[in-house]
Structure 1
């Protein structure tokens, strides 16, 4: 019953798949999963990977995205999600949860959690949401030390270390490009350019940087929502949709709860709910039943 209680694919193989995808010429689409069941759905629909957003993890704990979550919380949720999907999981590691030595430990902990890759950002610690104003970035040299520490701590060379720069909205796109080049020199495998405005910005970044690039298509932020095929044609290698599933779920939950509050029944909501049979399908109930029968469907013979 391989893969029933967890992923049938090793962490090393997921990392290899992620790296292969980044150089395949096809954009790798990574919707955010706010829990393991959503990751299972992302895989079933056919996406190339799963993303775990720091903003979503914070929101799930009813906290703002200002660096309040801990490495333990992030790694724990990442391990739960990576454990149920055969897809590679990229996780948001904020600023590495402290100084360069903390960034190094972050990589080892996330490796042990079965994660395929993590991104570290150049914001001042504690950070804030990348699409809010008032952010501050550390000097380039400080981020280079952060990245070098993370790279030096990596034990599986397949683990993808992504460098995120928030400098475009603070110092300008040219400064962000120069930072990206320095981060590449420090050992980053992938560059995440936060809060670019439009296709022209993405094109400018792509023309200037030689390693794989990741785009963030988050809603209600500073970036135009470009289709994956447009980003692919520009030459981007990966795209994340970090908060989309949480926003969809919370909108549905709020509207449904308000209707129950006002009408006293959920009877009018049934056509907006996932059916029990569909939930059981995602949970693989039938396979568990088969497993149970295979293990326990036996009779005791007499001692001879």
Structure 2
């Protein structure tokens, strides 16, 4: 049975903020802070796991393996990117069942042509509306529990314009999507109008450096959104910190610098769970010392 908490929070009208996690360290940090949900981003999981662009190269198996590990490290509901569903209608069914079995709480499927590309990069094209409507219907029909939510994303704004994107959002909602994701909206006015036109919860993509203006949770709620993902923040912060540390080491020959703050080693040991190892060693010390 899928985790019901995400669905319940949406039903109660609670605004949900989900940071993007891209590896086990970011997942554990998000867990420690205590978010209501986390977002497993295809862009950032692909970058951290395979070191390649989010351009439809990562496979279903790549993503499922990585998403499964995020689920294991998070007690919060996991919203997971599944690109285009990794193929046709049969692939969508297989993907939905695999993600649900892995413990994901919500799956995101988009209407780009294959191979897909990151939603804030050029050269994206979308499939015909009726093709994506069929995918949404198959996704909804394939889930085992209604607590497992289907997020339908449209990338039509960039190539076809705002009205076409909203038209698709309405169609995907009518096809049974639990949440609608209109990608790359370019102003507060567009965000407000999209939320007003689509009769389902909408998700805001607060991707740093993307086309959509970054707004705080309170502002997004006022615009009409029900939840927001911040997919890039943790990865960009980690990349900036590591780049600064590497450059400092290269120029100074040491890791010690007031300009490069480091996590304490003891704190990191706590983050990854070494206390459990030490407790085990203490409990079984007499046996282990024989």
Tell whether the structures are fold-level matches, with TM greater than 0.5: yes
Secondary structure of the corresponding residue to residue 128 of structure 1: coil
For residues 223-272 of structure 1, the C-alpha deviation after alignment (integer angstroms, 9 at most, x for no partner) is: 11111110012221110111211111111111211121122221226851
Aligned to 2:27: 39
* Unmatched 5+ stretches in structure 2: none
| Residue 245 of structure 2 corresponds to residue 256 of structure 1 | yes
Q: Identify which of 22, 40, 43 aligns with 1:55.
A: 43
For residues 31-110 of structure 1, the aligned pairs below 5 Å read 31-60=19-48, 61-110=50-99
1:204-233 alpha-carbon deviations (Å, 9 max, x no partner) = 011111111100000111111111110012
8 Å CA contact 2:46, 2:58 repeated in 1: yes
Deviations 1:122-165 (A, max 9, x none): 01111111111221111110001111221221112211110001
> Corresponding residue for 1:242?
231
Matched, 1:212 2:184: no
- The one-character-per-residue Cα deviations of 1:65-120 (angstroms, maximum 9, x if unpaired) are 11000011101111101101110001110000011111110011111211111100
Which secondary structure state, in structure 2, belongs to the residue aligned with residue 268 of structure 1?
A: coil
Q: How does 1:5-16 map to 2 (within 5 A)?
A: 12=2, 15-16=3-4
Q: Please, which runs of 5 or more residues in structure 1 have no aligned partner?
A: 1-10, 300-304
Cα distance in 2 between the residues matched to 1:51 and 1:146: 21
**Partner in structure 1 of residue 183 of structure 2:** 194
1:17 and 2:5 equivalent? yes
1:127-166 paired onto structure 2 within 5 Å: 127-166=116-155
For 1:278 and 1:185, the matched residues in 2 are separated by 48
How does the TM-score come out when normalised to structure 2? 0.94
- What SS is found at the alignment partner of 1:150? helix
Give the structure-1-normalised TM-score.
0.89
Q: Where in structure 2 are the equivalents of 1:224-303 lying within 5 Å?
A: 224-268=213-257, 272-294=261-283, 296=284
User: Following TM superposition, by how much is the alpha carbon of 1:289 offset from its aligned partner in structure 2, in angstroms?
Assistant: 2.7
Structure 2: how far apart are the matches of 1:217 and 1:262? 35
